[in-house]
Amino acid sequence: MPSRTLPAFRSLGDFIAHLEAADELVRVSEPISVVHEMTEIHRRVLRGNGRALLFEHAVKADGARSEMPVLVNLFGTLKRIAWGLGVEADALPALGEAMAELSRPEMPDGLGEVLRKLPLARAALSMRPRQVNGDVDRRTVLSGEAVDLTRLPAQVSWPGEPGPLITWPLVITRGPEAGTPENVGVYRIQILGRDSAIIRWLPHRGGAGHHRMWRDRGMEMPVAVVIGADPATMLAAVFPLPETLSELRFAGLLRGERPRLASCVSVPLRVPADAEIVIEGFVSPTQTAPEGPYGDHTGYYGDVESFPVTRVTAMTMRKKPVYLSTFTGRPPDEPSRIGEALNILFLPLIRRSFPEITDLWFPPEACSYRIAVVAIDKRYPGQARRVMLGLWSILPQLSYTKFLILVDHDINVRDWEDVAWAVSTRSDPSRDLVVIDGTPIDNLDFASPKLGLGGKLGIDATNKIGSETERKWGRRLAMDPAIVGRIDEIWDRLGVDPRASAARGAA
């Protein structure tokens, strides 16, 4: 693993202190309402790549002052996301390579290779949890009639939403069989009242799968909801991990030390010992309630759907907890910023399955994963189609991607001008479109003809070779390198518009 250049933050408070020391956090003393006002401030700051915001005097939806401050925009920049992983932003590609190596380790060849892999072995050992006993004694414990979700300064992000929503929860579940690993997912939670809530999860997510197992046995499912944890644990919860790997264990790998876990007080689950707030309870196998409509990452309001009701049995919190929150809307938002970082980390893992892929980009303005642009080192006819079908079928992370654009490795996948040029000059609709219908689609995508079912479109915008074309293929314009070098030498003394310097040597 890349050497951490930052300390192993054990708690959200440790990370906040680091951000404040680095001038990456602003304390807002003005009273700000969680109803719409916080969202509008957050939107403006995030769009400008601004600092994290700590609202010291938040006003709750009922008009009362919150007893706890609200932190937003924590992961609003690539730099802070990388810091949460313990590295600088330029080390993210190396971290991605190390994660790919851990996912499919290879036998070392010789002593030198053994020594090179020692850091990976040490990193793997850091995934073993450490039980922290007695931690609950240092926390405020609310149970029975003292349980009250309305104490939380949960946001109402957009006009027309039905009520406060917990937007950055880490939802911890596990299957009914003994020894099954915990799953940690980020699912929005609608507060219904003092001790009841709705957890909204899509059918393919780990929490939904666990709930089906408990429901099939006619049993309530224990659940723990963490609001505010160390940054490695929060980021691990959004990583595309195998179902057999617990996010809590993976957080230890990211942090470089064994995860500290404490037992819940009312459910048989473990949570990060240094969590700010923990909500414990049981999800009903039968009782449901309508959830929504809420603003979504698509930039639209979602549908109203019914999801299981959770009965809250206990709440625990630090003596002076910080409430972590965010909004979800049309990008840019925090999920899209995190998606940019995951894009970098995910590429080496994808290349393990498809070595011909040279680059991949999920444009954040396309809701992070609905469009993917993939560059390949093309060597044989039909290769682009093979990669398309493989990405859609083999990798769960791309199963909801609606549009795949395949280009050659000479195209910059992050440059829409370059991609548009490739699509318009290297593809023909009568030959280069791959259309598939009746495939799984995000339930939140109301553009699909049926709930959860829709189509896929692949565009082969690569150069056509061999039997793919009967025509002589075009030859790309390129300036003589000697001329480019000559103009580079005299450029500064020409006195032309300096803004044109970025176009040196362009065709």
The residues assigned a catalytic role are: 296
Task: Give one DSSP letter per residue of 383-407, joined into a string.
Answer: HHHHHHHHHHHH-GGGTT--EEEEE
User: Rounded CA gap, 117 and 411, in Å?
Assistant: 34
User: Rounded CA gap, 359 and 377, in Å?
Assistant: 10
| Contact status, residue 262 vs residue 136, Cβ threshold 8 Å | yes
Pairing between strand 32-33 and 58-59? parallel
Beta-bridge partners for 336: none
Distances (CA, A) of 214 to 168, 173, 257, 286: 25, 11, 33, 11
Q: Which one-letter DSSP state was computed for residue 492?
A: H
Retrieve residue 248's tokens.
């809590």
Angle between the N-to-C axes of helices 92-103 and 111-125, in degrees from 0 to 180, rounded to the nearest 10 = 90
Helix or strand holding residue 115 (H, E): helix 111-125
| Contact status, residue 504 vs residue 488, Cβ threshold 8 Å | yes
Identify the CA nearest to 369 among candidates 390, 349, 334, 343.
343
Pairing between strand 183-185 and 140-143? unpaired
Retrieve residue 283's tokens.
């999800």
Identify the CA nearest to 423 among candidates 411, 414, 434, 435.
411
Retrieve residue 401's tokens.
């991607």
User: Rounded CA gap, 123 and 258, in Å?
Assistant: 9
User: Rounded CA gap, 14 and 27, in Å?
Assistant: 16
User: Rounded CA gap, 304 and 426, in Å?
Assistant: 43
Compute the half-sphere exposure of residue 444: CA atoms within 13 Å on the CB side of its CA: 25
Distance, CA of 247 to chain centre: 13
SS3 (DSSP) at 198: strand
Distances (CA, A) of 314 to 195, 210, 225, 228, 447: 9, 21, 11, 17, 40
User: Rounded CA gap, 84 and 402, in Å?
Assistant: 30
SS3 (DSSP) at 440: strand
Retrieve residue 60's tokens.
């709750």
Identify the CA nearest to 185 among candidates 198, 174, 196.
174
